[in-house]
Amino acid sequence: MSIYIIFLNYVMISEETEVFYLEDLRKVRAMINLAIYDKHEGETDRKITSNYKRDYVYKRGLSMRLGVFLGCIILVLIYYAYMLFVKDADVFQLIGEHIFIRMGIGIAAVLTIYTFFCSFSYRREYHYAEKRMDIYEKRISWINGQKSKHAGKNHKKDEVI
């Protein structure tokens, strides 16, 4: 903030070269923006966008599925403990092909639901990280006076930042 006020005062003093200092001011503001972004989200966004979207969603999903599967196994063990020790159920009633098939279907259903909802969340996360990195690179290109590598026929004309 103090840098901003110093430059603001600089602009007011030097009226004949006002345009030149205003241009510097815009670049300083852009650099401050970039520094703030780097400090907070830059590292995380770089890690996210270093993968392809599919790879990122797959890796996160795999980690999620492993955790949920482990959680399901723990719940199954708790259920078995409840049936064996609290309800005094017969052990042979709890060990059967149909029991395992039902549990397998249940676990598969839970994993499918989690995969369905979490994949939306991971894709959105990647999309926003990619968007922020795009803006970041455009601003760096503008500061360096280069044409942005993302400029193309379908892109709108870059506004003055």
- Of 6 and 105, the one with the shorter C-beta distance to another protein is 6
Contact call for residues 7 and 28 (beta carbons, < 8 A)? yes
In angstroms, give the least distance from the CB of 40 to another protein: 8
Applying CB under 8 A, the residues found at the interface with another protein are 1, 4-5, 8, 29, 32-33, 36-37, 40, 63-64, 67-68, 70-71, 74-75, 78, 81-82, 85-86, 114, 118, 121
- Residue 122: Cβ within 10 Å count: 19
Q: Which residues, in sequence order, are CB contacts of 96 under 8 Å at separation 6+?
A: none
- How many C-alpha atoms does 25 have within 13 Å on its Cβ side? 17
- Of 1 and 91, the one with the shorter C-beta distance to another protein is 1
- Of 53 and 132, the one with the shorter C-beta distance to another protein is 132
In angstroms, give the least distance from the CB of 139 to another protein: 12
Contact call for residues 60 and 121 (beta carbons, < 8 A)? no
